[in-house]
Amino acid sequence: QQQVRQSPQSLTVWEGETAILNCSYENSAFDYFPWYQQFPGEGPALLISILSVSDKKEDGRFTIFFNKREKKLSLHIADSQPGDSATYFCAANTNAYKVIFGKGTHLHVLP
Amino acid sequence: GALVYQYPRRTICKSGTSMRMECQAVGFQATSVAWYRQSPQKTFELIALSTVNSAIKYEQNFTQEKFPISHPNLSFSSMTVLNAYLEDRGLYLCGAGTGQAPLFGEGTRLSVL
């Protein structure tokens, strides 16, 4: 059973557009949602995260929108740049340290 | 700054042999260390989670007999892949944390011949 689902699997946008990456989860006990960015050949790097008590978190061009009632969240990347091309993982956990990952969205930003 | 260092970055072993990989937390003390395997399709599988003052907990399909883990202090952990076979190939990631979002190393990529 996939506890954290991501869509789309792959996304292509033009430079300057806003990329929207979606995530949903099953377990109501999840209360913390980090997003990781991974480039080929590297480990995942923490990009931005949100607690379930919030409905929005911004950090520069990256914004998380969170809907607790629907168990959905999304990562918006504004003014997308070719350097943002990477795989983005939505993850979820509780205070129990165990982090569950989605299968990722592969983002291509075309110049 | 805080970072996680994994060694080696890449390793190749013969089928049936074993290899050990290491994880070092630099700039912080990791109260938890999780070992993951990332498949070529990018899917993450949690192998085991080690937290301070608790026994190492292995996930379903992963055992201590196959993936023994050592976590002697808050800065270091190691994991061995015993009797490696083709299905053990992948990128092994160490996630070390003090709270909710672990920091990951670059991983150890295991190839099995």
pLDDT, one tens digit per residue, over B55-108 is: 899 999 999 999 999 998 889 999 999 999 999 999 999 999 887 788 999 999
Nearest to A34 by CA among A43, A26, A45, A42: A45
Task: With cut-offs at 50, 70 and 90, classify the pLDDT of residue A96.
Answer: low
* Spatial distance between the Cα atoms of B39 and A2, rounded to a whole number of angstroms: 16
Q: CB contact, 8 Å: B75 with chain A?
A: no
Choices 3.20.20.20, 3.20.20.450, 1.20.58.100, 2.60.40.10: CATH for A4-110: 2.60.40.10
Q: Does the CB of A1 have a partner CB in chain B at under 8 Å?
A: no
Q: Give the Cα separation of B71 and B32 in Å (integer).
A: 9
Closest CA to A22 of A77, A98, A94, A79: A77
d(CA B1, CA A64): 25
Q: Which residues of A touch B106 (CB under 8 A)?
A: 42-43
Decide if A46 and B103 are in contact by the 8 Å CB cutoff: yes
Which of B49, B93, B107 is facing A98, going by the closest CB pair? Answer: B49
For residue B30, give the CATH number of its domain.
Answer: 2.60.40.10
Q: Which two tokens stand for residue A2?
A: 């996939």
Band of the pLDDT at A15, cuts 50, 70, 90?
very high
A29 Cβ under 8 Å from any chain B Cβ: no
Residues B4-55 have pLDDT tens digits of 999 999 999 999 999 999 999 999 999 899 999 998 888 899 999 998 778 8
Residue B88: which domain range?
Answer: 3-98+105-112
Q: What is the mean pLDDT of chain A?
A: 94
DSSP A84: G
Q: Which pLDDT belongs to residue B33?
A: 93
Rounded Cα distance between B97 and A96, Å, is 11
Token couple for A76 = 């918006």
- Residue B53 has a pLDDT of 76
For residue A1, pLDDT beyond 70: no
- Identify the band that residue A95 occupies on the pLDDT scale cut at 50, 70 and 90: low
The DSSP code for A82 is: G
Q: Where on the phi/psi map is residue A3: left (φ > 0), alpha (ψ -120 to 50), or beta?
A: alpha
Of B6, B32, B42, the CB nearest to A103: B42
**Domain definitions of chain A by residue range:** 4-110
Indicate the pairing of strand B90-97 with strand B19-26: unpaired
Name chain A contacts of B103, Cβ cutoff 8 Å: 46
Task: Answer for the pair B15, B39: CB distance below 8 angstroms, yes or no.
Answer: no
A·B CB contacts under 8 A: 53
Which among B93, B97, B107 is the nearest to A97, CB-wise? B97
CA neighbor of A56 nearest in space, from A43, A46, A45, A65: A65
- Please report which residue ranges of chain A form alpha helices under DSSP H: none
* pLDDT per residue as tens digits for the range A58-93: 999 999 999 999 999 999 999 999 999 999 999 998
Q: How many domains does chain B have?
A: 1
